[in-house]
């Protein structure tokens, strides 16, 4: 078995702490180690370092290598440009298949928080066992704890098997992020799960699915086969990658494929999608403010504060995000936390690249 860790995200929703040169997955957002380091350490309980592959952006290569000295250099694959998750997964699947044609691969985002690591590992083991038995695309669905509108949902259908005490269901459909009313309906139904973006499958199976549903992408990825296992792979990727179709594995493959299974999971998952999500993991004061750094609040409630540079004092405000870094102070309502990309787009238009 191999693990493929996708570490190419920009982390824009954690701006201004997350920047283009040092995105969210390379930061210690939750804990002393970076999110990427935590993800590698978590899966290392199942796999040796030589079976863990990280796909990251070209400009983060040095930092990724510095953080993951335990991995072989050839296991850190650098994308010259971002081309979304289908290209990332397809490239990694080619590498895995070249090394071991029948291998199962676990695909994990680099920036997720998981509280119950033991249950996470038993779920991955069960999913890997299922993927070895059946040529299916397996995804991990998180049992919802609230009518969350920030996640996509997976609708589970017929129960098809139980492996190692984990139930597997045929996926009926994928659903985009719902409004609150629809999210409440999903929660009440009982067979809807949050789409975690974590997958388990045989490398050859996902490549066949890409060939079927994204033939143009597959044809371009095939141009890299002659470079596999050689010192020329990085140069080959640099030539081929910019022309690859940019599409997510969800849109491009998962929503179209016939044999997709979901295994429900409940291991305390959080994708840390924005500053607002820190309300679930940072300490709270008696006014339900969550914070990191020096902080004081009076008659202020449900705020999210990051201030390592100086004392942050709040008086009479509610439901705000306050992030104080060396060169940027961000203040915005909690309910606008998902929209920081709009600010970054505006900065680009105004030539303010030094803050990106």
Same domain, 255 and 280: no
Residues 48 and 88 in one domain: yes
Are 338 and 346 in contact by the 8 Å Cβ rule? The answer is: no
Same domain, 297 and 164: no
- Name the nearest CA neighbour of 105 among 203, 238, 17: 203
283 and 317 fall within a common domain: yes
Same-domain check for residues 116 and 262: yes
Tens-place pLDDT, residues 47-74: 999 999 999 999 999 999 999 999 999 9
Range of the domain at 198: 2-270
3-class SS of residue 105: strand
- pLDDT given at position 10: 84
User: Do residue 244 and residue 133 come from a single domain?
Assistant: yes
Looking at the fold, whether 229 and 296 belong to one and the same domain comes out as no
What pLDDT was estimated at residue 248?
96
- The last residue of one of the domains, among 270, 299, 328, is 270
Q: Where are the beta strands (DSSP E) in 83-226?
A: 104-109, 113-114, 137-142, 153-163, 166-175, 192-202
Q: Provide the CA 120 distance to its chain's centre, in angstroms.
A: 15
Sign of CA dihedral 71, 224, 24, 123: negative
281/248 same-domain check: no
Question: Do residues 203 and 96 touch, judged by C-beta distance below 8 A?
Answer: yes
- What pLDDT, on the 0 to 100 scale, is given for residue 53? 98
Question: What's the CATH number where 235 sits?
Answer: 3.90.550.10
**pTM more than 0.95:** no
The Cβ of residue 206 has, within 10 Å, a number of other Cβ atoms equal to: 27
Q: How many domains does the chain have?
A: 2
Question: What is the C-alpha to C-alpha distance for residues 291 and 301, in angstroms, rounded to an integer?
Answer: 12
pLDDT (tens digit, 9 = 90+) per residue, 146-194? 998 889 999 999 999 999 999 999 999 999 999 999 999 999 999 999 9
> Per-residue DSSP letters for 33-59?
S-HHHHHHHHHTTTS-GGGEEEEEEGG
Residues sharing a CB contact under 8 Å with residue 225, sequence separation 6 or more, in sequence order: 94, 98
Domain match, 261 and 281 both: no
What gap in Å lies between CA 108 and CA 89, rounded to an integer?
A: 10
* pLDDT tens digit sequence for 198-217: 999 999 999 999 999 999 99
Residue 296, Ramachandran bin (φ over 0: left; ψ between -120 and 50: alpha; else beta): beta
- Looking at every residue in the chain, the average pLDDT score rounds to 95
Q: Tell me, what's the pLDDT at 150?
A: 86
Query: Would you state the structure tokens that stand for residue 247, as one six-digit string?
Result: 């599409």
């Amino acid at each position: 078995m191999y693990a493929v860790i996708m570490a190419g995200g920009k982390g824009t929703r954690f701006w201004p702490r997350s920047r283009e040169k040092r995105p969210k997955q390379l930061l210690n957002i939750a804990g002393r180690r970076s999110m990427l380091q935590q993800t590698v350490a978590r899966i290392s309980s199942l796999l040796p370092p030589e079976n863990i592959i990280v796909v990251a952006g070209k400009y983060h290569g040095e930092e990724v290598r510095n953080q993951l000295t335990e991995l072989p250099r050839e296991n850190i694959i650098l994308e010259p440009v971002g081309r979304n998750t289908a290209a990332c997964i397809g490239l990694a699947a080619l590498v895995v298949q070249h090394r071991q044609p029948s291998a199962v691969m676990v695909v994990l985002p680099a920036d997720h928080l998981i509280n119950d690591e033991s249950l996470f590992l038993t779920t991955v083991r069960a999913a890997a066992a299922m993927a070895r038995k059946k040529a299916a695309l397996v995804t991990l669905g998180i049992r919802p704890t609230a009518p969350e509108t920030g996640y996509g949902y997976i609708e589970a259908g017929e129960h098809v098997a139980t492996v190692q005490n984990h139930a597997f269901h045929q996926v009926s459909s994928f659903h985009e992020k719902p409004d609150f009313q629809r999210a409440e309906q999903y929660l009440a139904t009982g067979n809807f799960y949050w789409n975690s973006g974590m997958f388990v499958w045989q490398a050859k199976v996902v490549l066949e699915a890409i060939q079927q549903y994204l033939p143009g992408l597959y044809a371009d990825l095939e141009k890299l086969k002659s470079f596999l296992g050689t010192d020329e792979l990085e140069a080959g990727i640099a030539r081929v990658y910019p022309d690859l179709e940019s599409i997510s594995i969800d849109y491009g493959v998962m929503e179209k494929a016939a044999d997709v299974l979901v295994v429900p999971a409940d291991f305390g998952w959080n994708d840390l999608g924005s500053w607002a999500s820190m309300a679930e993991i940072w300490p709270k004061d008696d006014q339900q403010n969550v914070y990191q750094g020096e902080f004081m609040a009076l008659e202020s409630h449900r705020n999210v504060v990051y201030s390592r540079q100086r004392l942050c004092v709040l008086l009479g405000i509610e439901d705000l995000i306050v992030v104080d870094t060396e060169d940027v102070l961000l203040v915005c309502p909690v309910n606008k936390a998902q929209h920081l990309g709009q600010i970054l787009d505006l900065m680009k238009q105004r030539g303010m690249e030094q803050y990106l």
